[in-house]
Amino acid sequence: MNNPFETVIIPGGILLLGFLSALLLPAPAFGIALAQRLMEMFHFQDLSQLYTVVFCIWFLLLGTVEFFVIRFVWRRWFRV
């Protein structure tokens, strides 16, 4: 039987794990040439806009991966 709040729990869990990833895992850092090329490609005004978008995408991606790995482990080995 599925939990009726599963549609709320999944995005909340992903965001929570993304925030925890911000504290625990390293974020990507670009070299100057790559950062300038990305800024030109995406039409950013300065480097802080680029890193804001990169960090948001990075931590949401990590949160999603962590959530589904923990969910798989829970359902596979610890569910009664």
- Residue 55 domain-assigned (yes or no): yes
pLDDT in tens, 20-56: 777 777 778 889 999 999 999 999 999 999 989 998 8
- Percent of the chain at pLDDT > 70 equals 98
- Checking if the pLDDT of 1 tops 70, the result is no
- Residue 75 domain-assigned (yes or no): yes
Average pLDDT, the chain: 84
More confident residue, 31 or 78: 31
Among 33, 28, 24, 19, smallest CA distance to 55 is for 28
Total number of domains in the chain: 1
- Residue 45 domain-assigned (yes or no): yes
- Confirm if 14 and 59 have CB atoms less than 8 A apart: no
- Checking if the pLDDT of 80 tops 70, the result is no
- Residue 38 domain-assigned (yes or no): yes
Identify the domain containing residue 66 by its residue range: 30-80
- Residue 74 domain-assigned (yes or no): yes
Among 3, 50, 2, 4, smallest CA distance to 27 is for 50
* pTM of the shown model: 0.67
